[in-house]
Structure 1
Amino acid sequence: MSNAPTNAADARRRVTELIRDARICMLTTIAVDGRMVSRPMGLQEAEFDGDLWFFAYADSAKVRQIRVNPEVNVSFSDQERNAWVSLAGTAREGYDRAKAEQLWNPLLKTWFPDGLDTPGLTLIKVHAASAEYWDSPSSTVVNLFGFAKAAVTGRPPKAGENHDVSY
């Protein structure tokens, strides 16, 4: 069974499903010296409408980097399902108490011990410009067989579906 999209709306829906399933991502920002810097982040909203939300400290390096250069990449990997998403977009930082209340999860107290009253708590909003995803609905055994076959035949394995999505 293929998860291949039939139109742009289906492709966006598939990106949403893959992001929701992965939940943990790598947020890549550009440091002041031009280096790309990635760090793991927990996605705070499972419904994806083109915006991703994260909690952070306002004085963190990632927030300082976003203030200087808002272009970011957010990548998701779900190895259990053999799926990956790379999302390019623009980030902005700002605290919105109502949005923070909507997004808050008690597990966040590990990083923000005073909850929504944690000093310096802020939100990062990433607005997607585009996404690319790789989706391999086959099992790991089938994928390993495909790689083994490729090694013998010299032909690249079929790695599943790959689609670009614009927002």
Structure 2
Amino acid sequence: MPDRTISDIAAKLKSIDIAMLVTKTGAEGAIAARPMSNNKDVSAEDGTTYHFATDDGRIDDDLKRSDQCGATYSSGEFYCAVQGTGKLHRDRATLEKHWVKDLEKWFENGLDTDGLVLIEVSPDRIAWWEGRDQGELTP
């Protein structure tokens, strides 16, 4: 099993724009997934990712009910599954820190979009596969 660092995996995740972000939903804790951009905002130190959404959808309610979440990524022969906790941010300073201009195609009022939230996904476990290689990291 080849050695990969969190920084190595973070660099790969930065190059993959869309992840399937997975949360527990409803009273039964069923699984829900939706595509989300990571905006190339991935921490090389611990693999934390950041995703923008609005609070009028299910994801906001899901993360309020349970902070357990995950994200899956794939590109070519590289696959990655991140399991961790999600945190919602609403304060303007944090939103500004992670905002990128490309997000305006999804949020036409930019940082002034009603109900704009930032979802921070902090990994507890990162599993990856690339060709015949595979590994697991715990930040």
Q: CA RMSD of the aligned region, Å?
A: 1.6
Q: 1:119 to 1:67 in 2, by over 3 A?
A: same
Q: Percent identity?
A: 24
1:132-159 CA distances to partner (integer Å, 9 max, x unpaired)? 00012xxxxxxxxxxxxxxxxxxxxxxx
Say whether residues 1:18 and 2:12 are aligned partners: yes
8 Å CA contact 1:27, 1:74 repeated in 2: yes
Larger CA deviation: 83-92 vs 95-104 = 95-104
Say whether residues 1:78 and 2:50 are aligned partners: no
1:11-43 CA distances to partner (integer Å, 9 max, x unpaired)? 212211221121210000011132101110000
Structure 2 partner of 1:35: 30
Say whether residues 1:68 and 2:62 are aligned partners: no
The residue type paired with residue 120 of structure 1 is G
Structure 2 partner of 1:117: 112
Say whether residues 1:91 and 2:86 are aligned partners: yes
After TM superposition, the runs of 4+ consecutive aligned structure 1 residues lying more than 4 A away are none
Structure 1 segments unaligned to the other structure (5+ residues)? 137-159
Larger CA deviation: 46-55 vs 56-65 = 46-55
The residue type paired with residue 14 of structure 1 is D
8 Å CA contact 1:89, 1:126 repeated in 2: yes
**Alignment: residue pair count:** 136
SS of match in other structure, 1:22? coil
**Structure-1-length-normalised TM-score:** 0.75
Inter-partner Cα distance in structure 2 for 1:72 and 1:102: 23
Say whether residues 1:49 and 2:21 are aligned partners: no
Q: Which has the larger radius of gyration?
A: 1
Higher relative contact order (CA 8 A, sep 6+): 2
Q: CA deviation at 1:58?
A: 1.6
Structure 2 segments unaligned to the other structure (5+ residues)? none
| Structure in which a larger fraction of residues adopt strand | 2
**Structure-2-length-normalised TM-score:** 0.90
Structure 1 partner of 2:2: 4
The residue type paired with residue 164 of structure 1 is E
Inter-partner Cα distance in structure 1 for 2:53 and 2:44: 19
Q: 1:74 to 1:121 in 2, by over 3 A?
A: same
SS of match in other structure, 1:66? helix
Structure 1 partner of 2:138: 166
